Amino acid sequence: MYKNIDELTPHPASHRIYGDEILSDDFLNSIKEHGILVSLTITPDNKVISGNRRLQAARELGLDQAPVQVAQYESDLDELAAIIDFNRQRDKTFSQRMREAESINEIERARAKARMLATQNNNAGRAATATLPEQPKGETREKVSKKIGMKPRTYDKAKKIWARAKVRQIRKPKSVTPTLAGQTRGESREKVSKKIGMKPRINTFADRIVLTESVKLIKD
């Protein structure tokens, strides 16, 4: 099954988590030479769940159509979970992984609430209005850290760094160049990246801020 490129749109949740893509020449050349070999997964209303990079490449190359498969999801949360699952093997920046973690927490909390309400309705035969209790921290922590490819202790550090980095993003600092005393920028990037379990890859403004905040946390 094929769809016109103009009919397809990236899923908003995918863009929120993974941001704008910078496509490599190799990727573009492969699509140009062989076409899109793996179908895009889309919703019935033509939002792309899996294949946003392929869609972007098709547009940049001026292709008219792309192969698609339509998937039906019961809720927005299920769509969000599918987006994260489809990107499991993707090479991700630190910022992308932390936005995944936020989304996974959102999914787990909403599903826990739904289970609680269903149980209360079944047991009491009435609508439930109780406040959602917090999930056991250890259980949620283990689940989220595993899904984003971090060890639990690394994830704990990452959350602190991410919280500080988001504050700096709001403030929009003029300079975010991370360095440690006596080191070049490249050496600092390698050292700090290793300490927080991320690759020394900086594609976005957010990732530069993350490294800056990492330096501070490590020096404190």
Provide the pLDDT for residue 103: 92
- The reported pLDDT for the residue numbered 56 is 94
Query: In the prediction, which pLDDT does 147 show?
Result: 86
Confidence at residue 166, expressed as pLDDT on a 0 to 100 scale: 74
Instruction: Give ∠ CA 58-53-85 in degrees, rounded to 5.
Output: 140
Q: Which CATH architecture has domain 2-86?
A: Alpha-Beta Complex (3.90)
- Pick out the chain residues at pLDDT < 70: 123-139, 168-220
Beta bridge partners of residue 48, listed in sequence order: 10, 42
Interior/surface letters 63-92, b for 16+ CB within 10 angstroms, e for the rest: beebebeeeeeeeebebbbbbbeebeeeeb
Return d(Cα 76, Cα 67) in angstroms, integer. Answer: 23
Instruction: Please report the pLDDT score of residue 195 as a whole number.
Output: 52
The domain ranges of the chain are: 2-86, 94-219
Q: Compute how many other C-beta atoms are within 10 angstroms of the C-beta atom of residue 137.
A: 8
Residue 183's pLDDT is 46
What dihedral do alpha carbons 24, 28, 29, 35 form, nearest 10°? 150
pLDDT digits (tens, 9 = 90+) for 82-113: 999 999 888 888 888 889 999 998 898 888 88
Q: What is the pLDDT of residue 48?
A: 97
At 117, give phi and psi (nearest 5°). Answer: -65, -40
Give pLDDT, residue 3: 96
Q: What is the pLDDT of residue 191?
A: 57
Model-level pTM? 0.67
What distance, in Å, lies between the first and last C-alpha atoms of the chain? Answer: 56
